Amino acid sequence: MKTKIFSIVLMFTTFVSFAQQDAQFTQYMYNTININPAYAGSRGALSMFALHRTQWVGLEGAPVTNTVSMNTPLNSSNLGLGISLINDKIGPTHENTISADFSYTVPTSETYKLSFGVKATANLFDLDESRLTPAQAGDPSLQNYNTFSPNIGAGVYLHSDKAYVGLSIPNFIETNRYDDNEVAIFKEKINYYLIAGYVFDFTDSIKFKPAFLSKMTEGAPLQIDVSGNFMINEKFVIGVAYRWSAAMSAMVGFQVSDGMYIGYGYDQETTNLENYNSGSHEIFLRYEIFKNNGKITTPRFF
């Protein structure tokens, strides 16, 4: 009963939020295309990615997110293309977002490249009235509702074989997903992302990569994710992450073949939410083909 009551409060809080944020991912370092269009084509391969995230297991109405994406360089040019789809369910709301990404890369030194990217997005938001229990039956302000919102974003991405740093704004336009009497109740705010990571070669068989993500949204707390992953023998990856004042995470991954990588992440809340759920699970698969000379051009960490 306590869980159901808390679920209702959670759904209401999420629904009326004035600072709706983008879907979050623990293993964002493998899914950079969703937040930074300049990443498109940076791995030098046709890279296909699929992820499923179940957040706050046991809490009714908690977020469930699925995403698939594909990005590739264009032949031997400096251009890259990408496309991604995100399906996000939270309580009575359901969103589908499809994005197309375009990047252009220029060498800045013998080891570093600088990529510029733009993102075009289409979002379809849907409110399912049957998931709500209004105090007044037939309340006209709580009827089935759906809306279409286009958007555009951009990003820059500086990278080498061992390091990367990126700055991006996936959506430049603030949009109202749902409003009541012309008052925005469910509003998509602008999200600002800063990411960075570096690969250290501890030994010939052990690499270590610390990574960082900062997400800033007006009206919402600053989100900071820090992580550290070890790669052993170019095959096995294990690491931990911390989302500031939110959750601790454990991550594992395995390079099944030269082109296939699978990963799993588990989040344990560090807030009062931990009393109402059994954690969050995230699993993904990445598959790559058409590599230059059959080799991976950047470390598998990113």
- pLDDT the model gives residue 184: 46
Q: Which domain holds residue 266?
A: 2-131+144-294
Does residue 178 fall inside a structural domain? Answer: yes
State the pLDDT at residue 178: 58
Euclidean distance between CA atoms 241 and 243, whole angstroms:
7
Does 301 reside within a domain? no
Q: Which residues contact 156 (CB under 8 A, 6 or more apart)?
A: 38, 114, 115, 116, 117, 166, 167, 168
Q: Tell whether 136 is covered by a domain.
A: no
Name residues whose C-beta falls within 8 Å of residue 75's C-beta, 6 or more positions apart in sequence: none
% of the chain with per-residue pLDDT over 90: 61
What is the per-residue DSSP string for 106-167?
EE-SSS-EEEEEEEEEEEEEEE-GGG---SSTT-GGGS-EEEEEEEEEEEEEEE-SSEEEEE
The answer to whether position 9 is within a domain reads yes
At residue 5, the pLDDT reads 37
- Per-residue model confidence (pLDDT) at position 258: 85
Q: Which regions in the chain score pLDDT beneath 50?
A: 1-20, 183-184, 297-298
pLDDT per position as a tens digit, 146-190: 888 999 999 999 999 899 999 999 999 887 665 555 544 556 788
Looking at the structure of the chain, the number of domains it has is 1
137 located within any domain: no
pLDDT value of position 17: 40
* Residue 300 resides in a domain: no
Residue owning tokens 């009827």: 143
Q: 34: which DSSP letter?
A: G
Q: Assign residue 43 the CATH number of its domain.
A: 2.40.160.40
- Enter the pTM of the model: 0.85
Q: How far apart are CA 19 and CA 231, in angstroms?
A: 37
Q: What is the pLDDT of residue 2?
A: 43
Residue 19 lies in a domain: yes
Burial class (CB in 10 A: 0-12, 13-18, 19+), 35: buried
Q: Does 138 fall in a domain?
A: no
Would you state the pLDDT for residue 180? 56
